[in-house]
Structure 1
Amino acid sequence: THDTVEPATGTVLATVGLADASDVARAAERAERAQREWAALPHPRRAEVLRRAGQLWEEYAEEIVDWNVREVGSIPAFARFAVHTTAAECYEAAALPAHPLGQVLSSQEPRLSLSQRIPVGVVGVISPFNVPLILGIRAVAPALALGNAVLLKPDPRTVVTGGVAMVRIFEEAGLPGGLLQLLPGGAEIGAAIVEDPRVRVVAFTGSTGAGRAVGELAGRHLKRAHLELGGNSAFVVRHDADVNQAVNLASWGNYLNQGQICMSIGRHIVHESLFDSYVTQLAAKADAMVVGDPAAGQVHMGPVIDEAQRDRIHAWVLEAVDQGATLAAGGTYEDLFYRPTVVANPPRDATVYREEVFGPVVSVVSYSSDDEAVALAADTGYGLSLGIVTADALAGLELAQRIPTGIVHINDQTVNDEANAPFGGVRASGTGSRHGGAEADIEAFTETRWITLRRRPAQYPL
């Protein structure tokens, strides 16, 4: 068993059972059997379950929000957004069973030639702690809608929000037994899911390091792995930007969910003419933020997830200061409550600048020309999200075309999500858009089969 602990208070909220490798094997066997009957159902039946699930997320929103706030440490507004988006993901997925799942192809032979999309069978979904609802449902819902069964492994720190709630919703929505199997556990359970021969596709969201391990293991077993990984997103403030507006955008993109979002702004790249004013205003905004228990009152930020996360964040901040960076705001903590932090002018090789912090810490550097801004923004192994603030939106778009990322927001910050929009990164941020929209979901969770039909058997000159 494993205790689910409230990071804000240390209170044990629940005790959950952990899976072992034999549980994975049994779950995969049961899922494989259930999947065949599920895929054979008339498509309106599958759509009905997905629509009902969306309604249930809305019906039980406040109960699930409370778990999200207490188990994950999210502020209530962000927890409500997560539940809203989770319902929207189910509604979007409800349209997939009726989507055209093939094409009539041209053929040089006298035959009917077709391509058909068929379910892969059993899908493994491995989701992280930070936004467990959205980052689980965006694979679970379309995979089920397209006729698959799912083995779900949430992060063991957020099993109730990211696992139990999801299974209960789908049970109540009428999903037949065996199709959504909950397997709480650590990396060894994730590995068992990837290795099981009945699992044909794996959807993983998490760190780049863990994603590499999943991808390597999946490749060894000749399976597809859809990897949505880390980010160190750039936020470019051009010379013609309004500093007040840019700081407002940045504060949201920096500190929402304590910076524990893959799309969070990590690097602020600010024109030299605005740099001093920008740092001053951003630091003032950070200093004014209220940090505390999100279940006890209105705050801007809650706790980071655990001590290991906090200590890594703090070590990177201290390292940057030792290397000559200026600590403009924050850099302190009490228990798991880390103050929103602004690090100005860090060396380019400082860990806090080059890597994904996954906490409420941002770096700010200056540039003098658009070419330099492009070079700074692109000088990273990651490529998830990009924000650009400018009075000339077309100039911002031209700038964005030169910076490799999977997501771009002109005159907005980097943290955006909509159920029907393609989502994914490039480089070390993942294997591209595998979530959001019918095309991405169908590509992710089906196989393509070629079928031909002749009126009479063909004859060959042998």
Structure 2
Amino acid sequence: MSPHAHTAVSPGALDQQRWDGLLYLDGWTEGGGEVIDVHEPGTGAVIASAGLATAQEMTFAATRAARVQTDWAAAAPAVRATIARGAGDFFLRHAEELIEWVQRETGAIRAKAELEVSIAANECFDAAALPHHPHGEVLTSNEPHWSFARRQPAGVVGVISPFNFPLILSIRSVAPALALGNSVILKPDPRTPVSGGYMIMRAFEEAGLTPGVLQLLPGRVAAGSALTEAPEVRVVSFTGSTAAGRKVGEACGRNLKRAHLELGGNNALIVLPGADLELAASAGAFGSFLHQGQICMTTGRHLVHESIYEEYVRRLAAKAHSLRVGDPWTTTAQLGPVIDRVQRDRIVALIRAAEDAGAEVVAGGGAEGLLVQPTVLAGVGAGNPAWTEEIFGPVAPVRAFSTLDEAVELVHESAYGLAVGILGDVGAAMTVADRLRSGKIHINEQTVADESNAPFGGVGNSGTGARFGGYTANIEAFTETQWLTVRPSIAPSPFAGDAR
């Protein structure tokens, strides 16, 4: 148990004394790595402790997970479905307690925390249908046999999740992978191990999951590397930065295992001529400033038709000025703190670099502690770092376009391809949408959206495609296809002689 003093979080079903300072390796246990404090970014207070796993423990966890996986895969579909439903019920029954943890651990406004807990429950409920979903098809054949293509569990699945939406970005892989008969090793970001790990472990523990089928090992880079290298791990689901995702993909490719990579984004919002500017500016503010811009789908580039550009900038800046910044747990703030000083310093440095490259700061631009002001940048030209890089902060760069052809070209300037929003005339938006390379396109909505039954993913530097969400994507992600044939008797061999 950690000796550190904690600022109290409401006691309840999460049962902090059960796991504080520990990891889950066939049960709650002390890890061989360091015990770290989990800080509340809004105040800096310590609210929990997390035990970090060593690379050796991660390797051992993979071995243990492989041993229990076969029995779990053999469990009746109704058993696996019941466990998934039980985990979903846990999130609903204890929503208020879990919302508090998400708010305080991630610096989130209540609406964001409510969204995470709600989607977590829905991910579990959707996963509960997977064991009963058809897992194959009957094939035609020229041979006198039955021929089937059937889906089998992949085996051991490794899940590596980030700090920004830690609950959603963990559970969306954990729940379907378990429901489909895999065992899972979850490595959440050490900055958010409660939302990204402990509450998920407790949900499935309370639902009655067999010990060892889900292992929880928070850890640093060495632990993550051991997870990708372990031969028992056949699939790695990674959500995080493009740079880190490349390393995960390289390791998985070298070891001939599948990697599902959901990476960064520099998402564009196209505002067409004639769009309702008040609604467009409101949507643009939502897309850029929700959760301090710490979302892979954040609107990172505002492309506005030249006829409405100046008015859009003015209205967007007014929205930014009106937003309250503070600790969302103790105040009515609409923007909270970014996750840590490293993230804050990077955001502020990009704002300063954007100014040096000719952009004008028309709102925000500063920071106090971990609170970064919602910032609007006008006059952002080609090559400006605020335009070319994923900022991952509450910054809205705005640029004008003159024709739809130019808008399409500007979208495709970025190597990312996660999400695009198009605001305005639906007919024009449809013609633009058909020309765009992007994992998601939203007409008359901003770029941030997620639903448990919708395919999620991006192309280019944003990852390896839509690998999460919905029956088809989840079955594809966490199973292997096996060809099975059956004859009524042993097939004759062309090498067999006359046996008489």
* Mapped partners of 1:103, 1:403: distance in 2: 34
CA RMSD of aligned residues (A): 0.8
TM-score (structure 1 length as normaliser): 0.99
* SS class of match (2:467): coil
* SS class of match (1:425): strand
Partner of 1:20: 54
Partner of 1:456: 489
* Mapped partners of 2:60, 2:410: distance in 1: 50
* Mapped partners of 1:459, 1:370: distance in 2: 65
TM superposition shift of 1:52: 1.0
1:73 is the counterpart of 2:107: yes
Partner of 1:240: 274
1:103 is the counterpart of 2:142: no
Partner of 2:25: none
- What does residue range 207-246 of structure 1 map to in structure 2 within 5 Å? 207-246=241-280
* Mapped partners of 1:222, 1:56: distance in 2: 37
Is the 1:139–1:435 contact (alpha carbons within 8 Å) kept by the matching residues of 2? yes
* SS class of match (1:327): strand
Deviation per CA, 1:124-180: give whole Å up to 9, x if none.
Answer: 000000000100000000000000000000000000111111101110011110011
1:57 is the counterpart of 2:91: yes
Where does the alignment leave 5 or more consecutive residues of structure 2 unmatched?
A: 1-34, 496-500
2:476 to 419, 440, 443: 443
* Mapped partners of 1:241, 1:446: distance in 2: 45
Specify the code of the residue in structure 2 equivalent to 1:396.
A
TM superposition shift of 1:397: 1.5
TM superposition shift of 1:394: 2.5
Partner of 2:461: 428
1:89 to 119, 123, 126: 123
* Mapped partners of 2:196, 2:494: distance in 1: 60
Specify the code of the residue in structure 2 equivalent to 1:123.
V
- What does residue range 131-170 of structure 1 map to in structure 2 within 5 Å? 131-170=165-204
Partner of 2:437: 404
Deviation per CA, 1:422-457: give whole Å up to 9, x if none.
Answer: 000000000001001100000000000001111122
Specify the code of the residue in structure 2 equivalent to 1:368.
S
Is the 1:406–1:423 contact (alpha carbons within 8 Å) kept by the matching residues of 2? yes
- Any runs of at least 4 consecutive aligned residues in structure 1 with deviations exceeding 6 A, and if so which? none
2:156 to 113, 122, 125: 122
* SS class of match (2:336): coil
Is the 1:238–1:389 contact (alpha carbons within 8 Å) kept by the matching residues of 2? yes
TM superposition shift of 1:399: 0.1
Is the 1:7–1:306 contact (alpha carbons within 8 Å) kept by the matching residues of 2? yes
Is the 2:381–2:399 contact (alpha carbons within 8 Å) kept by the matching residues of 1? no
Is the 1:282–1:342 contact (alpha carbons within 8 Å) kept by the matching residues of 2? yes
Specify the code of the residue in structure 1 equivalent to 2:458.
G
1:192 is the counterpart of 2:226: yes
* Mapped partners of 2:350, 2:161: distance in 1: 26
Specify the code of the residue in structure 2 equivalent to 1:455.
P
TM superposition shift of 1:34: 1.6
TM superposition shift of 1:16: 1.1
Where does the alignment leave 5 or more consecutive residues of structure 1 unmatched?
A: none
Is the 1:320–1:347 contact (alpha carbons within 8 Å) kept by the matching residues of 2? no
Partner of 1:173: 207
Partner of 2:336: 302
Partner of 2:446: 413
